[in-house]
Amino acid sequence: MIRRFANPTRFLALARVVMPLAAILCAFGFGLGLWLALAASPPDYQQQETVRIMYVHVPAAWMALFVYTSMAIAAITGFVWKHVVAELYAKAAAPVGAAFTLICLVTGALWGQPMWGTWWAWDARMTSVLVLLFLYLGYIALVDAFDDPQRGINAGAILLIVGLVNIPVIKFSVDWWNTLHQPASLTRLDAPAIDSTMLWPLLTMAFAFKMLFVALVCLRLQTEIMRRRLAVRHQQVAGEAA
Amino acid sequence: MTGPLFAIVARDLRLTLGRGSEGLVTVFFFVLVVSVFALALGGDTALVARAAAGIIWTAAVLSALLTLESVYHRDYADGTLDLLLLSPLSPWHIVAAKMLSHWLLGGALLLPAALVAAPLLFIPAAALPVLLLSLLFGTLYLSLLGGLGAALTLGSRRPGVLLVVIVLPLYTPMLLLGGMAAAAALAEMPVRPYLLLQAALFLAALPLAPAAAAVSLTTNMRSS
């Protein structure tokens, strides 16, 4: 299974189906999710209307962690199986993940201002997410810094695996330290500490974010594979001419 | 295996110290950054004393990053690194030796430099042992991560800037703990937990950072 999609041609065939499907599901997800989040769900009894920021903030935060973890797993896969598409995946997903992290931080600041009275605090959760953004940006800078793209991908893969230690720190920062940021409401052993009228819009938005990510990554991977083929073709043509 | 390892370290020390002022420049840079910080804060005694720990740590990070390029990129540029990798030494040993020489030429010099900087920042003598111990772990850790960063950026277009961008995020846990330890020492609170956590971070990085750097070095060289 892992080997199967290491072949870029097979992957492209799959992506041609998955990309439009994910794009359609993403459009539906955002349509339904935004309506549920902005109109159909009740305002919070304490936070009133500002609670609606959560429907963007929380899915973006989930995606920020998910994308980084998936990139690191892809990096390991690339190392172990010399999996071409996995190597390219990390490169393709990085800017998307960085954008999700930025959305998370910006909406967090917009939410923090009315609720906590501050845009920013050097709190464990916020600091570790900021470090995550720096890790994304460092990875993007490193991958792009080599004349030979493969060297950039190799160096970036090691950086991704090293940076993976930050992920549990972010996840559990609200449990380990007594922070301004609230602890997790959903991933608890007992029932989620969130009412179903707010849970469903949140999950719909999370689904829409995920589909957006799948569609964007498929598109970026297709572009990257095409670009590589074009580069090879250019070299061949240059070789024939010489 | 220790003979060749120390031969690499000795060679690095001879090369850098033989060039005259290079070792001293690190110390000078450190004291200079500390002074600039204190001056930028307006020289206000109370304010500088409160910010002292943060200033020391920032200056230490900047000076350690400064030395990275001379230890790694010079050997890469003149081909020494290729020859070392062709030798029967394992890449882990080569990288570990490089990290040790980087520490001896950077971090180790910062400990006496911190003694010079302490009175400039109004750090009381009682807090000095804690500060030095915490700087010891911090600089060792920085040499380990810095070596990894250098191995990753060898052969890239702008290694200097890239190195800073990559190493600093990975360095934040140590920086936080160092700042907390210094703040606790200044407030005469217990410092043991922070120092133990710093030691733990250093010990965790001790085998792992050279291993990751060795992998990146070999893959980097193979594809070049």
Q: What is the DSSP string of A164-207?
A: TTHHHHHHHHHHHS--SSPPPSSS-SSS-SS-HHHHHHHHHHHH
Q: How many domains does chain A have?
A: 1
**Cβ neighbours for A1, distance < 8 A, ≥ 6 positions apart:** none
From the list B152, B172, B224, the residue facing A158 with the nearest CB is B152
Residue A43 is given by DSSP the state P
Given a cut of 70, whether residue A175 has pLDDT beyond it is no
Residue B48 lies in a domain: yes
B214 → chain A, closest CA residue? A158
- Residue B41's domain comprises 2-219
Full-model pTM? 0.86
Residue B224 lies in a domain: no
% of chain B with per-residue pLDDT over 90: 13
**Residues A17, A19: Cα–Cα separation, whole Å:** 6
Which pair of structure tokens corresponds to residue A39?
């109109």
Which pair of structure tokens corresponds to residue B104?
């001896």
- Whole-angstrom CA distances from A172 to A79, A133, A184, B84, B176 are 28, 17, 9, 42, 17
Residue A56 lies in a domain: yes
Which A positions 168-197 lie with beta carbon below 8 A of chain B? 169
Which pair of structure tokens corresponds to residue B161?
């800037």
Pick the most confident of A36-40, A209-213, B154-158: A209-213
Q: Write down how long chain B is.
A: 224
pLDDT digit string (tens) for A6-31?
788 888 888 888 999 999 999 999 88
Residue B8 lies in a domain: yes
Residue A108 lies in a domain: yes
Cβ distance of B152 and A163 shorter than 8 Å:
no
Residue B35 lies in a domain: yes
Residue B199 lies in a domain: yes
Cβ distance of B166 and A142 shorter than 8 Å:
yes
pLDDT at A95 (0 to 100): 95
pLDDT at A185 (0 to 100): 67
Residue B41 lies in a domain: yes
pLDDT digit string (tens) for B83-127?
888 888 888 888 898 899 889 888 888 888 888 888 888 888 888
Residue A43 lies in a domain: no
Smallest CA–CA separation between A115 and chain B, in Å? 27
Residue A62 lies in a domain: yes
Cβ distance of A142 and B162 shorter than 8 Å:
yes
Chain B residues near residue A158 by CB distance under 8 angstroms: 148, 152, 212, 215-216
- For A90, other C-beta atoms within 10 Å of its C-beta total 27
Rg (CA), chain A: 20
Q: Write down how long chain A is.
A: 242
Interface probe, candidates B61, B65, B73, B156, chain A, greatest A C-beta count within 10 A: B156
- Residue A137's domain comprises 48-178+197-237
pLDDT at A186 (0 to 100): 64
Chain B residues near residue A147 by CB distance under 8 angstroms: 157
**Cβ neighbours for A65, distance < 8 A, ≥ 6 positions apart:** A132, A167, A170, A171
Counts of helices then strands in chain A (DSSP H, E): 7, 0
Q: How many domains does chain B have?
A: 1
Task: Give chain A's mean pLDDT.
Answer: 85
Is B101:B210 a contact under the CB 8 Å cutoff?
no
From the list B157, B172, B220, the residue facing A155 with the nearest CB is B220
Q: What value does the mean pLDDT take over residues A44-52?
A: 75
Which pair of structure tokens corresponds to residue B168?
């600093």
Among candidates B16, B40, B173, B164, which has minimal Cα distance to B102?
B16
Name the pLDDT band for B223 (thresholds 50, 70, 90): low
Instruction: Show the CA angle centred on residue B81, arms to residues A158 and B172, nearest 5°.
Output: 40
> Looking up tokens 């999370």, which residue turns up?
A206
**Complex-level ipTM:** 0.83
